Structure 1
Amino acid sequence: ISPTDPTDDYDFAIWGPYPPGSSPGSICPPLSQPIRCSYSALTGNTGLNYTATDFTEGVGGNKWVDDLTVITGEVYLLYVSNWSQSGLAFNLNWDLQNGASLDCTVLPMELIDLTARAADKEVRLDWVTATEHNTDHFRIERSSDGDSFMPIGHQEAAGHSLSQRTYGFQDPEPFNGMNYYRLILVDQDGSVSRSEVVWASFNTGDVSAPFPNPAEDLTLVPIELTRQGTVEWRVQDALGRLVLQGTRLLEPGSSMLDLDLRTLPGGSYTLSVFREGEERLASYPLIRR
């Protein structure tokens, strides 16, 4: 790896070997440790050579690791990082011996930015690709826990592009609380690759403290929703037992829940307000005189 600017610090990692015919979507992102890597802090040329005997170089290393002995048909994955973030190019120089040859397959997409941002009534996803090669479409997936993802939409890809392309997607019904998103790029040959996970926090409702509190027969709960939905309130006693509950369909905007407390004996309680049954919006202590 020869940087255009010799003062640039480049790092790299190599994974493999993978079986012959492995597609980019089946090996990227890699699921194992690299077989060669260097994150040396030195600038200038870096890579593999015939004199190095180690497989990895740390920050204080000399940038060079041991060469690879390869077999015909093997597939390898090379990752190159411009640690200097200069935006300048580099050249790849290959020294192939004993009849070895090289077939470089271009990855279907270079994703340079992916963001998720909560807006008024939705979460907005934006992403930018630097290049695309045989791309078909993006599948947008969402999760409430960062682990189990479900598809919520798709966006057609450029197919072939050597310039930056900007994409956007709006999630009109995000979860209350944390929302995790990722992109699944589907290539024209059906292979897929995943992006990193991004997230946004979204609040579908704002519940103010009940008043009066302490209360006698009635307490009021101000609530504001960003979209129509069913709101449920639950009152539990000091032992955690459910002693009062109710539901109401509310329109977007400001509303007032009126809770009839006449069936409750005097004491301390906990009031919890949920949206659509399980999305907790707020919890407050409540005292019945």
Structure 2
Amino acid sequence: MKKFLHLLFTVSFCLIGGYLIAQKPTISLLGNTTAWVRGNATSNSGAGNGYISGSAVGVTNGQLPSFTWNIPSGTNRMMVLNFYFERDFRNGSDGGNWPSTYHSSGDYFDPFTLSVGTKTPTLIRAASASWRGDGKDKEITPDQAQFGAIMYRYVLSDANGLPSGNTTFDFSGIVAPNNAGDELAVSIEVYNNVSPIITYDNNYDGVAWMVANNNTAGANQQTNRNTFTMSAKQVTTPLGRSATDFWYEGFASDTKDHTITSNWNLINNVKVTNNISGQGLSANTGLPTIGNESDGSDMLISYTNGVSSAPSITLTRPNSDATYIMNARLSTLTLTPLAMPSISGNVYWDTDGPTNINGTGTNGDGLFVNVLDANSNVVYAATVASDGTYTIPAGYVIETYTYTLQLTKNKGTTSSSPPTTALNDGWVTVGESSSTTGNDGTANGLLSTGKIGTTNISGMNFGINNPTVLPITFSKPLWARLLDNSIILGWTTATEINNKYFDIQRSADSKNWTSIGTLNSFFANGNGDGHEYSFSDNKPLMTTNYYRLQQYDYDGKYSIGDVVSISREKVSFSLAPNPATSNITAMGIVAGSTIRIYNTSGQLVKEKLASAASETIEISSLPSGVYIVQIIAKDGKKQSSRFIKN
């Protein structure tokens, strides 16, 4: 069927998968085979001798039977099955004998039945070219074709059950040909380290018309008549990979021997020779009068890799060849590479048990998260930061693989067995979780990643606890100041862990205590690096007042702090002027008393020994605000008042 000569070209991407440590496992071609058919089931008179290159099955009765191929084993394999048909419909109805059913309403072809062992490959592309020569000499819809060519591409991955070893391929679902000049070329390739995810852009197609001399072949012929070029489609580089990791596969088919760009490497060359006499294609007629062309089909499968951007590929045939290439279709297939995403998570100081892994971030006095592969070898060792976060960068774990995260004080060595799982002194494991609630059921410092996908992984969390560490540490303990008729209390925390609130308690005898108020932790979850707190007792006792803090955790536990005391007596001194700008004078005091000035945070900012019943203190250097003046008599009694600094 080929004095209409059809060029079919496809290009596919393959990405290299692998590790960034040691050596990446790159995509490789594990094996390939071919098959071919010419003629039909009832007549192949004059078909001559066909030939192929490489290991292949060839038949001349138009029907490709089942055959067996020893499929190579590997990891993350992807099988690509390429089919190229030429069909002559003039022995039957127009467009009535395509390899599978055509639907004109949706302009698509059904997949034909195909099996590899017990598995069914997935059809990802069917692209046809149709022609009439009855005075129309033009491309036509498939249902009106007198001649046609079509390519099908199927894929089958390890994820979908691709078998290994001697396997039967059954192509019996292909609709049988009608014409002795019909042909089929098949090329099968198996690649290693390819993602099971398949993407295809159905809009990325090109069509061209070519003729080798000045004869015309319809209004749409291409100006350049002996070459055809296309550029592969650029796709997004997966996580942890680079542009040079891509592989590109090229598919080209023509009736005459042809060549491709020199930087493309040949995988398969399938030649189907169909030397039926009287097949010359005359100029301007569009179609031969009988049968098919004199040569058959020539299909090339090739690849290139290691380039920084999507390459172009060119098919070339002799300038002197007068045979038409009437329809050239280009398409691209992307084989998604194995992604190598990042992993991140948190180590929490978890004081409320393993029900949910949470709390404040901690590094447990120095911890590491080691990544272990299926062979229990260390792939990467991440340091846990002081806030409990850790990250395994992109480029260390591989899509479709499963890893174990090990929390330990011991840093692992890459490509070696893991160190002992152990925490620093005082710390114990609470649990692990890959979700916001629950845990993985075993508190052992080990957490499975599950099967790695194509996106970055977060929320891989560990919970640890140190029961010997106090939930609250203070940078400044509880203090009390008399201010007019009130007593101001203050304290400053250095760290807070699981702190829910403070209960402020007062006593007249330091034995019997009454709560006079509460203050919640400044931090939403009770965990933080410290905060200044203050509380005002506006109705203190008229005698000595004793105060203490009772601190409560979220789990209901509590601790009681130290006691401070302060005596409330009538203030016998005065301050002037008030407000003040440069100086403040304390009057009605006793010589030898100590004068102290505090800010509202309880910090001592000025101190002076009184030399008389009236003493002036310079305050011009103090910031504007409210200050407390405390007079301490020689006998230790204290009185306080306040002033405003402008």
TM-score by length of 1: 0.35
TM-score, length-scaled by structure 2: 0.16
Q: Going by fraction, where is strand more abundant, 1 or 2?
A: 1
